[in-house]
Amino acid sequence: MSDIIDLAVIGGTGLYRFPGLEDAEKHVVNTRFGTPSDRIVIGRVGNKRIAFLARHGEGHSVAPHRVNYRANVWALHHLGARRVVAVNAVGGIREDMGPRAVVVPDQIIDYTHGRLSSFCDVEGAEVRHVDFSHPYSAGLRAELLVAARKAGVAVVNGGCYGATQGPRLETVAEIARLRRDGCDLVGMTGMPEAALARELELDYACLALVANWAAGCGDQQEISLPEIFAHLEAATAQVPMILSALLAD
């Protein structure tokens, strides 16, 4: 594709479409790495060309450990995306990252296993050792923070995302370990997506939406799925305002 995508958005749990897209068209993209989670929707917001992909599929049919992260990232790159904002539902560990908080993390620790995590993992591919010291693009992170401020949305700047395997939630002991390791958030979809974006030299940043306290955190005794979805719905409602402000620049 010759047309440049001004911004690609990967929607996580609770975000299955991009509100306000005009002239939207759905694109089926087949890649050498397989099929993406869903059709990619391309449309416009004002004069900006936007691509949107639901990471779990429109009906949330793809579990975190079964997402074809390589196909998703490759397809967006193929369609012309060079900047990607990933929206991820997470659990909060740090005291200022409780339910409904919106966080722009700056670090990540990968606890996943068995996922196809590199474009090098195909016959004949060049082996690349990309610098992943700072997994999120500093420039795009800064733009998200400015956009949130313009939109009047409170966000937490920085934090470490611990990426776990899923789809089950974590034990109290596992969260205690993540806390000792320096994790402030826990989610299931942050990796290998961020590393794959780096391999393709995409600008990539994360909007982490806190759906619940992680196990053993806060004052909750048990994690309630209805509460998770209520918190996530409230946090997700703020995403279009942030992205609209980002696109207005």
Q: What is the pLDDT of residues 181-209, one digit of tens each?
A: 999 999 999 999 999 999 999 999 999 99
Gap between the Cα atoms of 197 and 24, Å rounded? 24
Binding residues for phosphate: 13, 55-56, 189
Binding residues: 13, 55-56, 188-189, 212-214
Gap between the Cα atoms of 74 and 77, Å rounded? 5
Binding residues for substrate: 188, 212-214
Residue 84: φ, ψ to 5°: -130, 125
Q: Flag whether 110 is in a domain.
A: yes
The most confident of the ranges 25-29, 128-132, 158-162 is 158-162
CATH, residue 13: 3.40.50.1580
79 φψ region: left (φ > 0), alpha (ψ -120 to 50), beta (else): alpha
Token pair recorded at residue 23: 């002239």
Could you give the angle at the alpha carbon of 87 between the alpha carbons of 137 and 4, nearest 5°?
Answer: 60
What pLDDT does 114 receive? 95
Total number of domains in the chain: 1
pTM: 0.94
Q: Flag whether 1 is in a domain.
A: no
Could you give the angle at the alpha carbon of 135 between the alpha carbons of 133 and 140, nearest 5°?
Answer: 125
What pLDDT does 56 receive? 96
State the pLDDT confidence band at 215, using cuts at 50, 70 and 90.
Answer: very high
Q: Flag whether 2 is in a domain.
A: no
Which domain covers residue 186, as residue numbers? 7-247
Q: What is the pLDDT of residues 43-102, one digit of tens each?
A: 999 899 999 999 999 888 999 999 999 999 999 999 999 999 999 999 999 999 999 999
